[in-house]
Chains A and B, each alone.
Chain A
Amino acid sequence: MFCRNGCYMTVPNLRFRPIPEMDDYVVFTPDNPNLYSLNQAARLVLAFCDGRTGTALESAYCAALDPLLPRREARAELRKTIEDLERKGILRNTRP
């Protein structure tokens, strides 16, 4: 669940594998072993997840997509992506 006051960071010990030949970016989650393919939205979200708050994340994400994506849509995409990444064990909120 997305939280504005949350503090978002990637889970430790993940391994990332860019596969530029297939325009793909794969992540390995050792705690619950699996490989996931990250789409553009997930890659952008992860690039911002350095411990900043949900609010700061939202601003950064919307700014990065402006004017390509209206703010409302960007916010919805961000929330969906964060929830998906949390479910897969790639991202965590360290201040839930």
Chain B
Amino acid sequence: MTQPYFETPPKITVSITATCNLQCKHCYADCTDKPTTSELTTSEWLAFIDYLVENEFIQIYFEGGEPLHRPDFDTILESCGRRMMTLVRTHATLLTSERAKKWKALGVGRLFVDLMGATAKTHDYFTGSDGSFEKSCNGIRHALAAGIPTDAVLILTKRNVGELQAYLELAHELGAQRAGILRLYPLGRAKHHWKEFALSLQEQVEALAALRPPAGLHVMRSWHPNDANCCWQAAAVDPFGNSIGCMYLREYVNYGNIRSVPFLDTWRNDALYKKLRAGKVEKSCTQCDHNEGTRGGCRSTAYAYTGSWNAPDPFCSELNEGVDIRVLPKWLLHDRPKP
């Protein structure tokens, strides 16, 4: 199965800020409380959203950092909520009932709320903030009450693997339609806590296999066979305007900055961007290639563990080839990781 080459991608992810009111131990964005001056301004984001609409983008997915921590976020939502399917990933501690109603009116289509465990003890350990669990649960309640479909998402680690089943039950009780169990990526602060958080692949596979979702709750997983090499359609921009394809590539690539190059020029002209989208890998599981159109799994973790863009993804049990994913290559811990 070959994936198409898009002239213009239909969807994009925007990391709107690298700031957050929490200080999670696993934060991929290494968030700080205060913004650096180089984050895109309100008018730059608004101009970019107009550009996306003019170029027929039909979906925008916001994440951070914490989008709600940006004071202009509602203005940004207002410019896109009725022009593109608008999705927001948030920890929702700042989402009041009034704000949720406003977001509904602005056209927000779906929320993904980070909840790192089934209990306050576990979640608040990750966030470093007592009471954050309760606030996030309330945020989910407010969003659902306002009529915004909302999913709970968790990044699987040693610290929350024991409460996965309880997590699904909690998500269901809160009224979420879906729960997402995501794999841990060696990025940002997470890689510096790797020993504490990372499970072996076998432990992850077993934990997922043991799940018994309550009736009516759909569980999303980011492992084989759904750990697709989805780079072929991936478009993303970081808070500083860099075109980086996917937020999981944030530390490894930069295809150009939208302050100086139109986004679609980075899409069409950057050699590495085109190479990753072409999906040429050394090895892939034929079954998944056929069924899912995925070749070799996620490019971010393939690169993180091997330094090669063409290598198989060690998070896939078919392609792991003996890599112990609890052990990170040393170069990855540098500020600007390069093998």
Contact = CB atoms under 8 A, between A and B. Distances in A.
Contacts of B110: 33
B82 interface: yes
Contacts of A88: none
B268 to A, nearest CB: 14
Interface residues of A, number: 13
Contacts, number: 39
A17 B56 contact: yes
B92 interface: no
A22 interface: yes
Contacts of B57: 17
B64 interface: no
A33 B86 contact: yes
A16 to B, nearest CB: 8
Interface bin, chain B: 10 to 19
B177 to A, nearest CB: 13
Contacts of A34: 85, 109
Contacts of B59: 28, 35
Interface of B: 4-7, 10, 56-59, 81-86, 107-110
Q: Which 6 A-B pairs have the closest CB atoms?
A: A33-B109, A21-B4, A17-B58, A30-B82, A35-B85, A28-B58
24 contacts: A15-B83, A15-B84, A17-B10, A17-B58, A18-B56, A19-B6, A19-B10, A21-B4, A21-B7, A26-B10, A26-B58, A28-B58, A28-B59, A28-B85, A30-B81, A30-B83, A30-B107, A33-B81, A33-B107, A33-B109, A33-B110, A34-B109, A35-B58, A35-B85
